[in-house]
Amino acid sequence: MKGLVLLMLVVAAMTTARAQTAPTERRSGYDFASPETRAMQDDDTANPGMLWVLQGETLWATKAGTADRSCADCHGDARTSMKGVAARYPAFDIALGHPIDLEQRINQCRAERQRAEPLAWESVDLLSLTAFVAHQSRGESIAAHTDSQLRPFSTLGKELFHRREGQLDLSCSQCHDDNWGKRLGGSVIPQGHPTGYPLYRLEWQSLGSLQRRLRNCVIGVRAEPYEYGAPENVALELYLMERARGMVIETPAVRP
Amino acid sequence: MARVLINLPTRARRGEIIEIKTLIAHPMETGYRLDSTGNAIARDIINRFVCNYNGEEVFRAELFPAIAANPFIAFWTIAVGSGELAFSWTDDHGQTQSEIRQITVE
Amino acid sequence: MVNAISALIGEGALQRGKVRLELPPIVENGNAVSLTVSVESPMTESNHVESIHIFNQKNPQPYVAAFNLGPRVGKASVSIRIRLADSQQVVAIARLNDGSYWSDSVDVIVTLAACTEQ
C-alpha cells in the first residue's frame, strides 16, 4: 500500500513537471546575458556575428554551381526578398513531405537551382548565408504556425522537449521551463528561445547554428546527440519556434 | 582575405578626436588547445595591428594569444586632415592584410 | 606576471594612478572579456602616453597586449577583448614620455559555460 502511494506520488510529480513558460513571462536569452555581452550584440560594428553576415552578403551575390547563378540572380535584393523568411522557418516542404530548416532550404537551392555542391553543416559559407538571410528578419516577430501539415512535427518536437534523457536524466523543459533564471554552475539558465540564430557564442568563439546548440544541450545531459539535419533536430527547432512565436528575431545574437 | 569591419566617421571637424573600431575574423589559435588525439594545435594568431594616417603611424598594437578570437580593437585619433587611413593586420606567418578608408576633414 | 612587469619597467618605480582599467568584475565566459584601458593625459607633444601594456596573472603567458600611442592619438584610451583562463588579476601599465610608469589593476572572477561540446 505504501509502495502504491509512493508510485502515485512519483507519477503525479512527473506529470505536473510538464510545465510550460507562460506567454507573458517569455524573455529572450538577451535578458539573461551580462551587460558586456549585450553591449557586444547591440553594436553592429563590434558584434563578431556581423563578420559572418558580411560574408553572407558577399556569397549572396557570388555565382555558383554549373548553373552559374547567384542567390541574387533569382532573389534580387535580400533586404526585401528575404525579409520575414527566417521568422517562418522551419517550413513544410511539400515535395519532401516534412519540414526543413533554413540551412536545409539554402542547401536545397544550391543543389537544385544552382546545381552546386551542398554546403557542409557549420561550414563558414553555410553559416554566413544563413546568418545573412536570418539577419534580414531582425526586428520581425516569429510567425505563429498556420500550416496544419506542421502539426505532427511540432508535436514530436514538443514531446522531445519534454522527454527526460541521458545519464543526467533531464529534459529540456526541466531547465528551460521550470528553472530558467536560476543558475547552473556559474551560468544563468535562459528560457531557450531561438530568437538570435545563427548566433555568436562566446564559448564557441565562433558563429554557430541552432542545431549545434541543441546538440550541445543534449551532450550536456550526457545523451547521444542527433545528427545534423536529423528529423528530431528539425522537429525540435520547429517546436522551439512555435514556443517563441511573437518574440522578436535578433540575428546575429551574442550569447555566453 | 579575412572579413573585416571598420567603423570610423567619414567626415570630421579639424582637430576632432574620433573613435575608430575594428573587427577582423581570425580564430587566434593560442597554441595551448589540444586536438582530439591530445596533440597541441599550433599557435596561429594576428600579432600586430598598425594604423597609418596619410602615411604616418598613429597607433600600433602588439597582440598575444590572450587576445580573444575575432580581434576587436577600438582606439582614438585626431582628425588632422582629409585623406587615407590605412589599417594592417600581420599574422604569425608574416602575412599582412591591409584595408584603406577615406576621411574628409573640414 | 611579476617577472614580466619587472622586465618592462626595469629600475623604474611603478606608481598607481592616472591609469583606469575597466573589466567586468564577474565574467560570463572567459573566451571574450571586454577590456578598456584609459590614461589621464593631455596627450600633447610634451606630455603624453607612449605605450600601454596589459598583463595577466594566471593565463599560460603573462602578456596580453602592448599599445604604442603618442600625441596623434588625442585620447589615451583603447578597448579590446581578451581571454582569461581563470579568475585572476589583470594589470595595465602606462609609460609616459617622461619615462614614468603608472598602473591600475582589476581582480576578475571568471565563470564557465554550463553546456559545452566536451
Q: Does A20 reside within a domain? A: no
Closest Cβ–Cβ partner in B3, B23, B27 for A205: B27
Q: Assess if residue A249 is contained within a domain.
A: yes
Kindly state the average pLDDT of the residues A132-161. Answer: 95
Q: Which residue in B39, B21, B72 sits closest to A205, CA to CA? A: B72
Disruptive mutation site among C22, C49, C73 for chain B (greatest number of B CBs within 10 Å)? C73
Contact yes or no for B64 and C72 at CB 8 A: no
Residue A6 counted as domain residue: no
Domain ranges across chain B: 4-105
Q: Nearest residue on chain C to A212, judged by CA atoms?
A: C117
Do C55 and C39 touch, CB atoms closer than 8 A?
Answer: no
Closest CA to B75 of C55, A41, C51: C51
Q: Is C40 helix (H, G, I), strand (E, B) or coil?
A: coil
Question: What are A71-105's pLDDT values in tens digits?
Answer: 999 999 999 999 999 999 999 999 999 999 999 99
B31-89: pLDDT as tens digits: 999 988 999 999 999 999 999 999 999 999 999 999 999 999 999 999 999 999 999 99
Distance CA(B59)–CA(B51), nearest Å, equals: 5
Per-residue pLDDT for A20 more than 90? Answer: no
Q: What is the pLDDT of residues C85-97, one digit of tens each?
A: 999 999 999 999 9
ipTM given for this complex = 0.94
Q: Is residue A2 part of a domain?
A: no
Contacts 24+ apart (CB under 8 A), C7-11: C8/C53, C8/C93, C8/C101, C9/C93, C9/C101
- Of B3, C34, C115, B72, residue with least CA distance to A38: C34
Phi, psi of B99 (to 5 degrees): -135, 145
Q: A191 near A180, Cβ under 8 Å?
A: yes
- Residue A218 belongs to a domain: yes
Q: List chain C residues with CB under 8 Å of A203.
A: 29, 31, 113, 116
A15: in domain: no
φ/ψ bin of A205: left (φ > 0), alpha (ψ from -120 to 50), beta (otherwise): left
User: Hey, what's the cell of A248?
Assistant: 522578436
Q: Is the pLDDT of residue A50 over 60?
A: yes
Binding partners of C (≥3 Cβ pairs within 8 A) = A, B
Q: How far is B24 from chain A (nearest CA, A)?
A: 8
In this complex, which of B21, B23, B74 lies closest to A48 when CB atoms are compared? Answer: B23
Residue A248 inside a domain? The answer is yes
Q: How many domains is chain A partitioned into structurally?
A: 1
pLDDT score recorded for residue C76: 98
Average confidence score pLDDT of chain C: 93
Angstrom distance (rounded) from CA C17 to CA C103: 6
- Answer whether residue A17 is part of any domain: no
Amino acid A5: pLDDT: 54
Contact A240, A189 (CB under 8 A): no
Give the residue from B29, B70, B97 with the most A CB atoms within 10 Å of its CB, the best one to mutate. B70
DSSP secondary structure letters along B25-75: ----B-S--B-TTSPBPPPB-EEEEEEEETTEEEEEEEE-TTBPSS-EEEE
Query: What dihedral do alpha carbons C64, C68, C74, C76 form, nearest 10°?
Result: 30
Give the phi and the psi of residue C19 in degrees, each rounded to 5. Answer: -95, 140
Q: Which amino acid is at A242?
A: E
Grid cell in block for residue B99: 584595408
How far apart CA C107 and CA C101 sit, in angstroms, is 20
CB hemisphere CA count around B38 (13 angstroms): 0
Just give the CATH number of B4-105: 2.60.40.10
Q: Which residues contact A56 (CB under 8 A, 6 or more apart)?
A: A128, A129, A130, A131, A132, A133, A135
Q: What is the CATH number of the domain that holds A179?
A: 1.10.760.10
